[in-house]
Chains A and B, each alone.
Chain A
Amino acid sequence: MNPRNSPHHEPDPGPQRAAIDRYVKLVQSGEMNAYTEIVRHFEAPIRGFCTHILNDPAAGEDAAQETFLKAYRTIRSFRGESSFSSWLFRIARNTCIDILRKQKRESTKAQRHSLYEEGRSEGSASQRLEAQEQLSLLLQALSPVHREILLLREYHHMNYDEISSVLQCSIDAVKGRLKRARQEAQEYLRHLHENENVVQREETL
């Protein structure tokens, strides 16, 4: 899957997947240089995923590097039961979860909460947020579980099978979790827009 090749990030299995499978087999047989092509192919989506999950470009880049390193170390255990893409996203997801747990221990939770509250209720001109800022706030506001499933579905356009493979849960669980994630996101965005409208009205008065 390479979302870069499509304006709507559509999954692109087909020949690219065959090429990736070939590179994977080469790496498994000891051809370290073939891994360069794998990294080149998945670099942007994995970096994007980690950046969005962690909501921090620097931490996202570190997590992506860690993901590729872990994937290289364990690539011999990849049996091709799921797609390599799903397998890689699973590693990225686990790496991000570890980082989030570490961050939680270092009590960044308070900061996250304050940003969420800021997004919800602060009545200033800065509330008219650009899409990027809105997205950043939305990702901050969502719980990690909902954040990851929304990203996999809406940003990386994975189907339910792929998501269940990445998250290692049943398709029914994916559907249920996705539904709750959408509800949480909608609720948050509604609050954000309501606040924005209030500010606009105050400014026009």
Chain B
Amino acid sequence: MIHPDSDTLEKFFDRELSDEQNVSVERHVAICSECRDFLVGSQMTRTLLESSPLPTQSESFVHSVMEKVRDSEHQRFAFQIRNFFEQWGFQAGGLAFAALLICLSLFRSDSLTATDEMLTYRQVELEALDSFESQFTLSTVLGVYSDSEDSL
């Protein structure tokens, strides 16, 4: 008796043969206990596996997964922020420091100019005061002198 090869038997079991091939294997299986045993064994395995029910659908499972998904999203966001600071933090810090230095130097130069202006103004004032005082002293001296001449 010529048996169908194991591939053909597998295909027969998986219903992957053409109708013609199917009929041929069916005829053989009807009279061959060896091939029939193979098919019965395969069917037993299939039946046993199919006998196991799928787990019942559980909303708590869905909630639990979604909870973890949300946590994961938060962690990812935090990680992205931390990563950003790690990547750009030094550059940003350096830039901020440089900007601070520039601002300080600008402010300092402004205040120095202002002080210079104030000093110049004060100098003019003092000079004016000096000239006034000297004039006053001269006029006073001259006044005293004329008064003494008059009294003579």
Name A's B-contacting residues (CB within 8 A): 3-4, 8-9, 32, 35-36, 39-40, 43-45, 47-48, 51-52, 57, 61, 64-65, 68-69, 72-73, 131-132, 134-135, 138, 150-151, 154-155, 175, 178-179, 182, 185-186, 189-190
Contacts and interface: CB of A to CB of B under 8 A. Distances in A.
Interface in B74-132: none
- Taking chain A's interface residues, is the majority helix, strand, or loop, or is none over half, making it mixed? helix
A73 B72 contact: yes
Nearest to A182: B42
A40 B147 CA distance: 120
Contact of B45 (A4, A48, A154, A175): A154
Contact of B50 (A35, A154, A182): A154
Interface in B1-28: 6-7, 10
A45 B52 CA distance: 12
B151 interface: no
Contacts of B69: 32, 35, 68-69, 72
Interface residues of B, number: 29
Interface in B34-49: 38, 41-42, 44-46, 48-49
Nearest to B53: A48
Contacts, number: 99
Interface-central residue, B44, B51, B55, B57, by most chain A CB under 10 Å: B55
A65 B64 CA distance: 8
Contact of A131 (B48, B56, B70, B73): B48
A35 B41 CA distance: 41
A186 B50 contact: no
* 5 residue pairs, one from A and one from B, having the closest CB atoms: A186-B41, A154-B49, A185-B45, A131-B51, A44-B54
Given A35-B66, A185-B45, A155 B57 contact: no
B61 A175 contact: no
B48 A138 contact: yes
B37 to A, nearest CB: 9
Given A39-B66, A48-B55, A65-B64, 8 more contacts: A35-B66, A36-B66, A151-B49, A154-B50, A155-B49, A175-B7, A175-B10, A185-B41
Contact of A155 (B38, B52, B70): B52
Given A131-B48, A175-B10, A43 B62 contact: yes
B25 to A, nearest CB: 16
